[in-house]
Structure 1
Amino acid sequence: MTRAIEAITSVVRSLVDDEPKPPLHVGEVMALWTALASFQEAHYLYEAGLNTTQDPDLKQAVQGALDASKKDSKMIKDFLKKEGVPLPAVSEEKPKSNPNDIPPGVKMTDSELANTISIKLAAVISFCGTSIAQCIRSDVGIMFLEVQAEVLKLNATFKEQMKKKGWLKIPPYYYPSGRPDQS
Structure 2
Amino acid sequence: MKFTSTLITLALGISLGNAVALPTEDVLVVRDDEALPFELEGVEAFDVEGDEEDELATRAVRPIYHFNNFPSKGGKCAKRQYSGGNVKDAGTDAGKLADRGKQIGTGKYPHQYNNRENIKFSAKCKGKTLQEFPILESHKVYIGTEATPGPDRVVVTVSKRDKKGNVDVTYCGLMTHEGAKNKNGFVACT
TM range (shorter): under 0.3
Higher RCO (Cα < 8 Å, 6 or more apart): 1
TM-score with structure 1 setting the length: 0.25
Relative to its length, the structure with more strand (as a share) is 2
Relative to its length, the structure with more helix (as a share) is 1
